[in-house]
Amino acid sequence: MSIEKPETTPRTAPAVTAGPPVAVAVAGALIAVGGLLHPKGDPVAQLADPGWTPAHLALLAGLVVLLAGLSGVVRTRGAAWPSAVRAAALAVCGAAALGVVEMVPHLLAGGEAHAASHGGPTPLLELHQRIGLFSNLAVGLSIAVLAVLAARTRALGGGRVLAGAAVVGGAAFGLAAPLLVATGVEAFAVLFSGSVLIGLWLLASGLLLARRP
């Protein structure tokens, strides 16, 4: 009596396509545009600025696309990466997810402009500020770490020069909220513009990676 061995179907690796890297590039463009459009100056006055809604819509869309695109890059190309780079990329995905959660009340806080300027209740503004302490730090620093680790092997397409921009932008963006809250010095708000450098790094890295087979 012979025992038949069950057939085993070999696992096929996920197809490597340009789609996920292009999504990372699109996310970078959206994040950079959001950073450029973001109102400057007095934090309360910003809420009523016409640029508030388009800036935060771009940032929210950028984080959503980054989460989808980078997770796709990790799934299709991450097996060839060093484990540290893969872990850092997954950390960015987690930070982007937290950033999406924070960006929703952040965007909607513009509707509390009148209340903020007249001492009324601003629950959405307060919620975004509390979550932003952690989400901005997570997004900024995780991207800075990923840029440094990825630059060594060009796992994400960019080299050391591009990584330097991401490190500066990521550190500035990540530390902006904690420094602003800890010191009360409104001048630290300019550090949020580090999102532009983050976006440019994602844009360039995504486009370079998309050209690879």
Give tens-digit pLDDT for 97-119.
Answer: 999 999 999 999 999 999 999 88
Q: 106, 62 in Cβ contact below 8 A?
A: no
Q: What angle do CA 185, 172, 117 make, to 5 degrees?
A: 40
**pTM, 2 dp:** 0.89
pLDDT digits 0-9 by tens, 16-42 = 688 999 999 999 999 999 999 998 878
The residue count for the chain: 213
Burial of 196 (0-12, 13-18, 19+ CB in 10 A): buried
Q: How far apart are CA 147 and CA 158, in angstroms?
A: 8
Q: How far apart are CA 158 and CA 165, in angstroms?
A: 11
The list of the chain residues with pLDDT below 70 reads 1-16, 158, 213
Neighbours of 190 (CB within 10 A): 11
